[in-house]
Amino acid sequence: MLIIDVKHIRIRSILVMKVKYITMCIIILNIRTMVEKKIFVLGLTAVLALGTLGFNWVDSILPTADAHGVQAQLQSRFVRIEDETFNRQSLQTGETLTVKGTLVSLVERDLRGWLSIFSESTNAGNRWEMLARDPPGNVFDIPGNSVVDYELSAKALEAGVYHVHTQLNIAKVGPGLGPGQTVVVEGEPILKPIPYTNIAYQSIIIGVGYVITFATRPWQVI
């Protein structure tokens, strides 16, 4: 009877040791899984944060310039934006804002560029619809040492207090802004159908813009 009890005790001890070993393995695996999940979540959070910030994080690494005309001053080695004027300081949604000015080439070689309106606002919409460009088309030539008059027209689609600039993009050089002006837009928002056929095209343009901006940083080289 005593021998049987000893055997039972030995078997029980072995079982207890195996249970402890299995339990420890499970705990270690759980800890490893939790750590891996935390690392994954942190990595995903970082990617999403960078995606939300776009290329603004480059500004904290490389020397850059703020808007409100500073970029345009740094770009004056190639083309200077002069006599920037706006037809309105306040308007209703649906009305047209027109920006006029002069592009003065400061180099002998010909350049290629495209014009647009850049606006920044505290509201989330910041929506404008480009109506016309002069010079016409998306890309135009700027002859060396020339003076080119320009005119841009855009329709306001959402209320807000905007600071609007002429934005000039020069091929192989980068973008620059005019001095700009504060424009107040009031009225109900105008909803327009999303041009899904243009989304891919616009994404390509935005991607090209990021590449040009990154490749031409810092601004001092312009």
CA 68 to each of CA 73, 111, 163, 178, 179: distance values in angstroms, whole numbers, following the listed order: 10, 24, 8, 7, 5
| One domain, residues 102 and 150 | yes
pTM greater than 0.95: no
The model's confidence at residue 142, banded by pLDDT at 50, 70 and 90, is very high
How many independent structural domains does the chain possess? 2
* pLDDT above 70 coverage of the chain, percent: 52
Q: Residue 65: inside a domain, yes or no?
A: no
User: The tokens of 36 are what?
Assistant: 């891996």
| One domain, residues 54 and 75 | no
| Containing structural domain, residue 178 | 70-221
Helix (H) or strand (E) holding 5: helix 2-53
User: Torsion-angle region of residue 139: left (phi > 0), alpha (psi -120 to 50) or beta?
Assistant: beta
- Please answer whether residues 180 and 69 qualify as being in contact, where contact means their C-beta atoms are separated by less than 8 angstroms: yes
Q: Residue 64: inside a domain, yes or no?
A: no
Render pLDDT for 49-94 as a digit per residue (tens, 0 to 9): 444 444 344 333 334 344 444 444 445 689 999 999 999 999 999 9
Lowest mean pLDDT among 7-16, 61-70, 98-107, 131-140: 61-70
* pLDDT computed for residue 31 by the predictor: 67
What lies within 8 Å, CB to CB, of 22 at 6+ separation is none
* pLDDT computed for residue 152 by the predictor: 97
Q: How many residues are given for the chain? A: 222
